[in-house]
Amino acid sequence: MSETGPALAVLAGALCLSASAILVALADVDAATTAVLRCVIAVAALIPLAMHERARHGPLSGRGAGWAIVAGVALGIDYAAWTASIYHVGAGISTVLINVQVIVLPLLAFVVDRERIDRRFVVTLPVMLLGISLVGGLWDSAELGEQAATGTLLGLVAGIGYGAYLFLTRRATSREPARMTQPLAWATASAAGTAAAIAGYSGGIHLSGITPRSWGFLVALALLGQVAAWLLIHHGSVRLEPATTGALLLIQPVLALALAATILAEHPTGSQLLGALAVLVAVAASNRPGHARRSRAGCVSRPPPRRR
């Protein structure tokens, strides 16, 4: 089966995710509250979809629900750490740091499931990371100040959480491929609880003063950046190699640049445009036709064989 469909699904999910930062900026609500509300609103939208899936394909297994809850903890940590890192090192550099997921995802798959890492991915990885650093403005940044170490640590924790979430959901979904919405609902509920728990140590949740306009953007964030994005990514990622999924998701900051320029009139610098081009070239090179033929879509329901 062609991998064009799954790859397009992941890219469509990345496009939805790339709109998240724009919607967060337009909502103008504090980071902790935004992290919790995007998940809570998404759960409300996912429940009827999950019930419909349950009626058609049966309930998610207890093991599948458990994996989804653990994955949701990783996602909640990702949201909480990433939003906090913005206030220490800025949105650009925090976006660079979170993309350590491109390493975390295939590394976890290699260590846990013994999945092979393609040589082309290894060769193009430095170009991908260089491009992401240029897109994030890392090379244009002046002295970051005293909070740089804390912000860098938070950004890396967010990236690890992001990669762990992708790995855990891909692993769980591959065992029950007919059930996509139920595990996402469990994971999103778990992420909401995790983000809320963390918010208790970072200033709390503030619901008063949120305007109807802000609520509208928060609903759009939940539906587009959570429900639509992750359903698309989950659908495509179980049919692709982990390195391929991680690389395709690197398109997200490139798309975010384009949306920011169009909607917020934030025009990219020359180095950011160069970085975007580097990412596009590296992703195309690492995922050209034939890259993952060894991993057939028809075999996603069972883990890959262990290599001696």
Query: Would you write out the chain's pLDDT as a tens digit for each of its 308 residues?
Result: 456 788 899 999 988 888 887 888 888 888 889 999 999 999 999 999 999 999 999 998 998 899 999 999 999 999 888 877 776 766 666 777 777 777 888 888 888 888 887 788 788 888 888 887 777 666 765 544 556 667 778 888 888 998 899 888 877 777 777 788 999 999 999 999 999 999 988 778 999 889 999 999 999 999 998 899 989 988 888 778 777 877 788 787 777 777 777 887 777 778 877 887 887 787 777 766 454 444 433 333 334 333 33
- Cβ(163)–Cβ(127) under 8 Å? no
Q: How far is CA 118 from the centre of its chain?
A: 21
Helices (H), the chain: 4-18, 20-27, 31-57, 62-89, 91-98, 101-113, 119-135, 148-175, 181-199, 212-222, 229-237, 242-248, 251-263, 270-286
Query: Of 99, 66, 109, nearest to 256 (Cα)?
Result: 99
**Taking the model in full, what pTM does it have?**
0.77
Structure token digits, residue 150: 């804390």
CA-atom Rg of the chain in angstroms: 19
- SS3 for 306? coil
Angle subtended at Cα 230 by Cα 164 and Cα 193, rounded to the nearest 5 degrees: 65
Q: How many CB atoms lie within 10 A of CB 5?
A: 13
